[in-house]
Amino acid sequence: MAHLWRGVVEEYRERLPIGPGDPVITLGEGGTPLVPAPALSARTGAEVYLKVEGVNPTGSFKDRGMTMAMSKVAATDTEMVVCASTGNTSASAAAYAAHAGLGCAVVLPAGKIAAGKLAQAIVHGATLVAVDGNFDDCLRIVRTLAERYPVALVNSVNPFRLQGQKTAAFEVVDALGDAPDIHVLPVGNAGNISAYWMGYREYAADQDGLPARATRTPRMWGVQAEGAAPFVKGAPVEHPETVATAIRIGNPASWALAEAARDESGGWIDAVSDAQILDAQALLAREVGVFVEPASAASVAGLLQAAERGGVPAGARIVCTVTGNGLKDTATALGQVEIEPQVVAPDATDAARALGL
């Protein structure tokens, strides 16, 4: 019988901190494609794959963490979740809260959320508050709200979020047969690079009676936007700015975990410009056929930059996570292209002429 994907909690339950009788709030997240990217292999001299997280139920990797966090909340008396967000966490929290029958409150930096993500939070019934400040201000506010009021915080400072997100590393190993040589990720609040590193380490070790599934761990390469690159600067950035609004973050919550992922794996965290991010987004769309949001393209921009500098080992097996779906932020993508579709009469000859056929 065909295996029907059951969501990451059921698929990897034995490696997750969830009891046999605990409720599972799932929208069928995970099981995302690992797509070979010949256009990137040709440019880098490596064997490059994309882990396409934009096909998750709400269009980003956050769903892997949200299924775990929301399942844990559903096992308690708490009736409302809260999060700060640059867009994707709020979209995911709102959808999973709706599925669980929980309330959802979202605190956002005013005017800095891509329209698709804002629409998601609204249609799933979240209550929104816009702050005249940046994501870091919003996170400070929701941490205080969760201390003072009966609401559960579902940002990645909730440890169950990273537990769920580590399953993406499991899937990469399951698909490739072993860990890649290098894994490249965009870095914002820094939870995801930390979660992947946790997943890779766990899969490479015998643990809790479970045998190792990988013989090694990859080097972790993190990529930030130049205007929001606290790891590269070595200190928080007070006024982060980038076209990749999802990673417009100056003071990442998982700072120490991400540095550990970088250092223990022998990797690095570097920065790329907004122009490089938008070029990589266009390349992925036109030459690989995968439409990602700007923050996601940062991983690929970082890989291409490393290749230009001679930093990519020939023939290395490399996975880039592309974290979110391009349809969430069509305004930025369309702002990069000149499109004037010609209007023609409802006639094939006219259409052919307009198409230059």
Ligand X SMILES: Cc1ncc(COP(=O)(O)O)c(C=O)c1O
Which residues between 76 and 95 bind ligand LJ64HWYM (CB under 6 A)?
85-89
> Which of residues 71, 90, 155, 192 is near ligand X by CB under 6 A?
192
How far is residue 163 from each of residues 9, 60, 208, measured CA to CA in Å?
A: 10, 16, 15
Minimum CB distance to ligand X, residue 206 (Å): 28
Bridge partners of 234, per DSSP, are none
Under the criterion CB under 6 A, does residue 305 sit at the interface with ligand LJ64HWYM? no
Angle between helices 62-74 and 88-100 (to 10 degrees): 40
**What track of x and - describes contact with ligand X for positions 2 through 21 (by CB under 6 A)?**
--------------------
CA neighbor of 67 nearest in space, from 162, 164, 151: 164
> Which of residues 296, 305, 332, 333 is near ligand X by CB under 6 A?
296
Minimum CB distance to ligand LJ64HWYM, residue 88 (Å): 3
- Where on the phi/psi map is residue 356: left (φ > 0), alpha (ψ -120 to 50), or beta? left
Cβ 302 vs Cβ 223: under 8 Å:
yes
Q: Which is nearer to ligand X, 47 or 63 (CB)?
A: 63
Q: Which does 270 bind (CB under 5 to 8 A by kind): ligand X, ligand LJ64HWYM, none?
A: none
Helix (H) or strand (E) holding 105: strand 103-109
Under the criterion CB under 6 A, does residue 164 sit at the interface with ligand X? no
Under the criterion CB under 6 A, does residue 240 sit at the interface with ligand LJ64HWYM? no
Under the criterion CB under 6 A, does residue 189 sit at the interface with ligand X? yes
Which residues between 209 and 238 bind ligand LJ64HWYM (CB under 6 A)?
none
Q: What type of residue sits at position 46?
A: A
Place of tokens 């256009």: 39
Cβ 100 vs Cβ 79: under 8 Å:
no
Q: Which is nearer to ligand X, 47 or 81 (CB)?
A: 81
